[in-house]
A and B are shown apart, each in its own frame.
Chain A
């Protein structure tokens, strides 16, 4: 088995092992069993860096469903490598953190680690798969495992609500993405991403190309919490903090970004792709940063901040796709946005992961995450404060942290985009830097709120229900490592650019890699460029906004009391439930007559409509049999009897009229040369009438049906409709058989093969004896059923069921 397949399998096997180990070693924290898995994977992927940098992109294949073109094809290129390192590296740190965060005696740790490992394996599968169907399978598995993790404390109503919401939204997007994948398959006949890419020139004009793009983007936007599908992320904060740090900052929410980056080679070069990806990204960026200002809960603030930063990366990926409109030098110019996106992707995972862990520590030590209760913790928790400060300053984009560099690169990208001259509306592009700049101001302000309102200000011990003190070393270690990384990447960013970013760029812009190799050089200082002035403006105005925030106490205002997107979602769910209940209630009345009316109406429409539509109605052919006076009389008597039944009010009369119809049918059988039918019909009619008379002696008198025409009209119309339809069917069947009857065979062979002269009887017992056998069975079953129905009565207290 190829090694890549093993790496994906490792978390699943480990999950199985944890499940089997439940009863063994009860005093050991389960996390210690988990740690070797992600750590080993992380080291393995680190050792792959030189191979991937050398451009060696082999495909490992294990046959799965070859007849459908679905095989487990895994592939490690620069983009996948970047994500696998994030997944396994953050995974290791989160497991360490969770060992100290979750109490072995109070929490159910076995399910927790099983879900976490399932998620890790699924995420690795998503970023390594080359086959679209396999990718989709792992994609849904991330949704399911994330659902399980969010609802880990499933006794809380809010956890269940958040889990359900995230499930509905991400699965909705996942299904849309699935449809998009199928469209790609229809166009290219393959599920392999690399093969689809090589055929992109042929399919870009296809009718399904743009729909496929939109559906795949829908999947990416829902997963990566882009506007307006971001609403699940703040509610997913009900999950344990290690889960929030892992899934909702570093990995799962980046699956959508991965998808966009992965499909960039296919869809970049389409104007729609550029506008949608960068537009939605920028909207999400500014919306998320404004919303984050209003939060009082630290995790909610971080959730909106994550949304905003994901929007930033998404926007950069969109702007990077502009490179596909050009060739050569100009093209390389626009790929700077992609570089910024990748660099910020790494930075964001680092600082957001550490910030979530820091907030978890604060929560752990004070039992609250409410900004209005927190304050003045700096002297009590100096290490936590330092970590929070590094993370926040990196998030705000301050030197010397890595976030500063990515922010500068972001500004460069939005300034570059103004030179895009392939669209007729260049004025629109000045909006890009403006939005980016305003959003950065808010980002700065909420980053400051995060640090200073938690650790500075007045210490309010009366609002806290426990006395805070510094966290244990185990809790501090993972964020500490992340903070160190943030500093390292801030000072020497080029260790990243060569090892990770360039290979990933090659994966996102595969065409340009052929022309000339990328050179990514992240400089700390460019001179007095516009970006520097923008950053200075961000700092100055950010401080002003932060001051105003304290002055106006924005938090206490009744924000969002008017319509929010959550209300739209909740209202939508409620509306759908109500509508479907009302709809079902409207037609599932429980009345047998209504259901029969639906069935009969449908018959009329279906059969009558088909006949009208296909000109199937025939009214007369020449070879009708002649009519004799006697037959007219018989038919007249039969119809008189039938028509009299609805008008009579006496039971006996109704039964006798029915009998009359039956005897007239018998007479018709005689007239139409069917002696056996006539005999049988006669006997059956006698017995039936006798049975009717016997049974209905016990039934009450017939009630008069409602006289009002209005209540009888639908009934009347439907029955007349059925009558007309059946007449037409009878006439159509007469005139239009395209085949000869097979009856001549029976007539010729009845005596020679069956040994009988009564052809009907030979048919019944010889040619088609099986019919008769089962008809006998029907009669037997009916008589047994009648017997048991009369004899057996299951009632309370009569367990034998036999009537005494």
Chain B
């Protein structure tokens, strides 16, 4: 399973980086979202997958999965959401004032 997820992480990063290297702001934002997903899956995978029950003590299981990466990912999800929301509005504003969503175009506008 871990091998499969590792490959999936690789694909998510590939597509994410490919999108980030494009010109359109929308594609760049989508690329960062994909890379965020990749990072979260990477964190989860690194602790080992399916090694026990969900980390709820009521389960009374023999073993539980590692709760620490889950807490870290939860924090990360919220932070990346905040940042993404900010970027979306920033992109919107940038388009309104520069008249283009082409990052190279915005650069030329400024010069």
Interface residues of A (CB under 8 A from B): 590-593, 596-597, 600, 619-620, 623-627, 631-632, 635, 638-639, 642-643, 645-646, 651, 654-655, 658, 661-662, 665, 668-669, 671-677, 680-681, 684, 687-688, 691-692, 695-696, 698-700, 702-703, 705, 715-716, 718-720, 722-724, 726-727, 729-731, 733-734, 741-743, 746-747, 750-751, 757-760, 763-764, 768, 771-772, 775, 778-779, 781-783, 785-786, 789-790
* Per-position 1/0 for B46-63, Cβ under 8 A of A: 111111111111100000
Q: Knowing A703-B24, A786-B85, say if A645 contacts B57 (CB, 8 Å).
A: no
CB atoms of B78 and A757 under 8 A apart: no
Instruction: State A600–B18 Cα separation when bound (angstroms).
Output: 11
- B3, B7, B56, B77: the one contacting A759 at CB < 8 Å is B56
Residues of B within 8 A of A699 (CB): 25-26, 91-92, 95, 101
Q: For the A-B complex with A596-B20, A691-B85, A743-B66 known, give 19 more contacts whose Cβ atoms are closer than 8 Å.
A: A590-B107, A627-B4, A638-B8, A675-B56, A677-B77, A692-B88, A702-B24, A703-B23, A718-B21, A723-B10, A727-B6, A730-B2, A730-B6, A730-B46, A743-B67, A759-B64, A775-B78, A775-B79, A781-B82
Q: Shortest distance in angstroms between B111's beta carbon and chain A's nearest beta carbon?
A: 8
Q: Knowing A747-B64, A786-B85, say if A596 contacts B21 (CB, 8 Å).
A: yes
Q: Shortest distance in angstroms between B63's beta carbon and chain A's nearest beta carbon?
A: 9
Instruction: State A523–B51 Cα separation when bound (angstroms).
Output: 102
**What are 18 residue pairs bridging A and B, where the CB atoms are less than 8 Å apart in the complex?**
A593-B23, A623-B48, A651-B26, A654-B27, A658-B30, A668-B41, A673-B53, A684-B81, A688-B81, A699-B95, A702-B26, A703-B24, A719-B18, A760-B55, A760-B71, A760-B74, A764-B74, A775-B75
Q: Knowing A673-B53, A675-B54, say if A635 contacts B5 (CB, 8 Å).
A: yes
Instruction: State A42–B88 Cα separation when bound (angstroms).
Output: 77
The majority secondary structure among interface residues of chain A is helix
CB-CB nearest in chain A for B15:
A642
Q: Knowing A699-B25, A719-B17, say if A751 contacts B57 (CB, 8 Å).
A: yes
- B1, B21, B67, B88: the one contacting A760 at CB < 8 Å is B67
Instruction: State A750–B70 Cα separation when bound (angstroms).
Output: 15
Instruction: State A759–B68 Cα separation when bound (angstroms).
Output: 9
Residues of B within 8 A of A651 (CB): 26
Residues of A within 8 A of B18 (CB): 646, 715-716, 719
Residues of B within 8 A of A700 (CB): 95, 100-101
B76-96: which have CB < 8 Å to A? 77-79, 81-86, 88-93, 95-96
- A642, A675, A695, A734: the one contacting B12 at CB < 8 Å is A642
CB atoms of B34 and A624 under 8 A apart: no
Q: Shortest distance in angstroms between A617's beta carbon and chain B's nearest beta carbon?
A: 12
CB atoms of B3 and A591 under 8 A apart: no
CB atoms of A661 and B56 under 8 A apart: no
CB atoms of B92 and A695 under 8 A apart: yes
CB atoms of A592 and B66 under 8 A apart: no
Residues of A within 8 A of B5 (CB): 635, 668, 730
CB atoms of B50 and A625 under 8 A apart: yes
- B42, B74, B93: the one contacting A726 at CB < 8 Å is B42
Q: Shortest distance in angstroms between B25's beta carbon and chain A's nearest beta carbon?
A: 7
CB atoms of A654 and B47 under 8 A apart: no
CB atoms of B52 and A673 under 8 A apart: yes
CB atoms of B4 and A635 under 8 A apart: yes
Instruction: State A619–B3 Cα separation when bound (angstroms).
Output: 8
CB atoms of B14 and A757 under 8 A apart: no
CB atoms of A665 and B17 under 8 A apart: no
Residues of B within 8 A of A758 (CB): 55-57
Q: Knowing A698-B96, A718-B21, say if A763 contacts B33 (CB, 8 Å).
A: no
Residues of A within 8 A of B25 (CB): 699
CB atoms of A625 and B27 under 8 A apart: no
Residues of B within 8 A of A654 (CB): 26-27, 30
Residues of A within 8 A of B46 (CB): 730, 733-734
- A619, A705, A733, A759: the one contacting B23 at CB < 8 Å is A705
- B3, B66, B88: the one contacting A620 at CB < 8 Å is B3
Instruction: State A760–B101 Cα separation when bound (angstroms).
Output: 40
CB-CB nearest in chain A for B66:
A743
Which residue of B18, B38, B46, B78 has the most chain A CB atoms within 10 A of its CB atom? Answer: B18
